[in-house]
Chains A and B, each alone.
Chain A
Amino acid sequence: GQNIDQPTEMTATEGAIVQINCTYQTSGFNGLFWYQQHAGEAPTFLSYNVLDGLEEKGRFSSFLSRSKGYSYLLLKELQMKDSASYLCAVRDIRRTTGFQKLVFGTGTRLLVSP
């Protein structure tokens, strides 16, 4: 099975930097993803890591350490519109069939204040 942990809620100030951590345990790891979800809306894809290291995309960066089962999402120059839930998701591959599924953590609600 899979186990994904991330903080329930975080707060930060506009213009600041925030790091959202995610730890996971899975038997068939094949990639880690971050999605953003505004309240009542569909999740939208932010980033993808399959190899160790940092992936940077504008104000957002995501880091992965496979040996530690650890990832973080780094948000810089926070804006009010960044207030949302951030979902860590692990792609798990079933070795017997090769088929994969994406399993989500419960998400971290980020509140950005002025």
Chain B
Amino acid sequence: DSGVTQTPKHLITATGQRVTLRCSPRSGDLSVYWYQQSLDQGLQFLIQYYNGEERAKGNILERFSAQQFPDLHSELNLSSLELGDSALYFCASSPRGAGGNTGELFFGEGSRLTVL
């Protein structure tokens, strides 16, 4: 157990819909990262927050948005969903930006999104 909690674990929805994925980082971790992993694809970096502020952005679509709240939990909002958005969405946390001294990220179990 990494200490990072993601909900929901599984989500099935239809094209055009909107969903929200939630992440609670490890206690004390200030940085939260979102990654997308499609079938047979690597982890694609979406976005990073540090203590409530956006710090880095990857290949995140305009239909996607995220935020980190004062209690440090984060939400990833996916709207106007398309079939290609079906993927595992991982949240990870670290004490500071990109894992501090060692760079270790602690990953949640992921949210599996299926768009039909």
Contact = CB atoms under 8 A, between A and B. Distances in A.
Given A101-B48, A103-B45, A94 B90 contact: no
Interface in B22-62: 33, 35, 41-45, 48, 50, 55-56, 58
- Where chain B touches its partner, the secondary structure class is mixed
A113 interface: no
Contacts, number: 70
Interface residues of B, number: 27
Q: How large is the interface on A (under 10, 10 to 19, 20 to 34, 35 or more residues)?
A: 20 to 34
A31 interface: yes
Interface of A: 30-31, 33, 40-45, 48, 87, 89, 91, 93-94, 97-107
8 contacts: A42-B108, A42-B109, A91-B98, A101-B58, A103-B45, A104-B42, A104-B45, A107-B42
